[in-house]
Amino acid sequence: MRSSLSTLVMSSVAGGVLAAESALYHYMPVEFEYDLDSRVTANLTFGTAASAEPVKVVMDSGSANFWVWAPGAVVHWGSPYFGVVGPCNETVETLYDPALSPTSSLINQTSAYAYAGNSKIVSGEQWATDTITAPGGTGPISNIQFSLQTYGLLKLADNGSCLPTPYDKSILGLSPYTNNTVGPSFRQNLFKTGQVAAQTMFLWFDKHTGTLGDLLGGILFGAVDVSKYTGPLVEVPNVVDHASQVGIYVAKPNITLNGQTFTPDQTTTCLIDSGAHGDALPFDYTGDLESQFYAASAGQLVDYNGIVAFNGTCEDIPAGLNVTYTFAGVREGESIEIVMPVRNYARGRIDPYNDRGVCLLNWEMGGCILGAPFVSAAALLMDDDGDRIALAQGGVSAEGAGLHKESLVVLGESKSWTELKPNPNDVKMHTPPSRTKTKSQPTLRNPPHPPHLPKFMNPTFGGRVNSITKLKSSAYFTDLLVDAFLKGRPPKAVPEP
């Protein structure tokens, strides 16, 4: 019988410690770094070579596929046009070499994926099967498939200097497995190989206190830690259109600031995307809700060319300044409120032309993206069996606490998830586990505006064209560009719409 979100079983506990040898679940620590373009990431080691080091992997609920660079991969950039290979390139450092891993196996299988409105495309010719390990997690995970990418193309202008540009080292897609999933799908792989008993994912972040910095959390496959949220897990409608969308889509929430509630007037649905660096509110540019929203802040929040900014320094954002997102539940009369600290939107975003003394937030207007900042406050539960989504108030557990095994519920049979309640005694300080930083992708702190990019290309400068909502591509352009890669020929130049 297939297990699902609505059929859970409490794990066996002996002496307060989970009997892990009989539990079908996996846990990984995650973080949301204090960087302007940071997203939810996890440190993963690929393979079992003695020389293997952790790689910073984007944990992306807005895509479904799992990949890492192959040895000798090359990334190209330097053109402002879609699908055009520019004059700049860089050989990717070797992050995983299957020849050095005794547990690896390879098959010849092409792959190509498009991200960020088709401004990032990767392609490769092989899939690997190997062991991956998350430092601080539950241990090695064997027989995991991921594709090896040999070619990358970034839509990024350059003035001829070809200064090095940042790029993703690996992406692990978390969105539900469907008939349209190209693969490899990490979550489906776990389920099919019997390493989890349920097709579920539970993602949370801890409560952050003190100065602005990295946010810490965790992700569970096949289980729930009830100490990581407060109040009930509430199922919300899944409104994804599988024919044209990939990811987790929910209906627009009502938005409350300083006691004033706004019903968004833009016709759209909302993508919950842990792979997006910021959130976007569905206020129509032609309406007056945006100005009303700012007015409700009593001068604390201001418009900065489409970016929401705090009227002061980032450290001056009050800990008690929150925005509340209220989602309707599946059941009539039920809803869930997610209280979001505005401080979580401060991620070091800068504009060198900013002379207003304001703090630019990873928060914009237009469209609806519930990105990494939103996920830092909401505990998210997904179940592929039935396309179900549940939300709860997160950001309550002690920072760096890691997995609280006494509160772990392993998904299996006979217990409904709707009966789960967080244990208030679990919201306490535990000894944080050590966290291994990767060497392959150093953290950038307030990087300057790239001198080789014009102002309008500045990734920290949103303008009135929302830079977050452009992250997800249309099916037409994705199919055109990816098809060209799979056929082994350069794609035609596609001007930006």
473 three-state secondary structure: coil
Specify whether 185 is located in the same domain as 258. Answer: no
Q: Identify whether 303 is part of a domain.
A: yes
Q: Identify whether 220 is part of a domain.
A: no
Show which of 406, 423, 440 is a domain's final residue: 423
Specify whether 273 is located in the same domain as 418. Answer: yes
Handedness of CA 18, 19, 22, 27 (dihedral sign): positive
Q: Which pLDDT score, from 0 to 100, does residue 244 have?
A: 82
Q: What is the pLDDT along the chain (497 residues), one digit of tens a residue?
A: 333 443 333 333 333 333 333 468 999 999 999 998 899 999 999 999 999 999 999 999 999 999 999 999 999 999 999 889 999 999 999 999 999 999 999 999 999 999 988 899 999 999 999 999 999 999 999 999 999 999 999 999 999 899 999 999 999 999 999 888 889 999 999 999 999 988 999 999 999 988 999 999 999 999 999 999 999 999 999 999 877 888 899 999 999 999 999 999 999 999 999 999 999 999 998 899 999 999 999 999 999 999 999 999 999 999 999 999 999 999 999 999 999 999 999 999 988 888 888 999 999 999 999 999 999 999 999 999 888 999 999 999 999 989 998 999 888 755 545 567 655 544 444 334 444 444 333 333 333 333 333 222 333 333 334 444 434 433 333 333 444 444 343 433 333 33
Q: Identify whether 403 is part of a domain.
A: yes
Helix H or strand E segment including 475: helix 475-486
Q: Identify whether 414 is part of a domain.
A: yes
Specify whether 263 is located in the same domain as 177. Answer: no
Contact between 266 and 363 (Cβ < 8 Å): no
Could you give the CA distance from residue 240 to residue 271 in angstroms, rounded to a whole number? 9
Q: Identify whether 289 is part of a domain.
A: yes
Specify whether 247 is located in the same domain as 120. Answer: no
User: Domain range for residue 103?
Assistant: 24-196
In eight-state DSSP terms, residue 478 is: H
Could you give the CA distance from residue 365 to residue 244 in angstroms, rounded to a whole number? 23
Q: How far is CA 389 from the centre of its chain?
A: 16
Residues pairing with 204 in the sheet: 218
Amino acid at position 411, single letter: L
Specify whether 343 is located in the same domain as 234. Answer: yes
Q: Which pLDDT score, from 0 to 100, does residue 211 have?
A: 95
Specify whether 264 is located in the same domain as 382. Answer: yes
Could you give the CA distance from residue 118 to residue 480 in angstroms, rounded to a whole number? 10
Show which of 180, 196, 212 is a domain's final residue: 196
Q: Identify whether 160 is part of a domain.
A: yes
Q: How many domains does the chain have?
A: 2
Residues pairing with 127 in the sheet: 107, 147
Specify whether 167 is located in the same domain as 254. Answer: no
Specify whether 240 is located in the same domain as 115. Answer: no
Q: Which pLDDT score, from 0 to 100, does residue 271 have?
A: 96
Specify whether 38 is located in the same domain as 185. Answer: yes
Structure tokens at 304: 């900065």
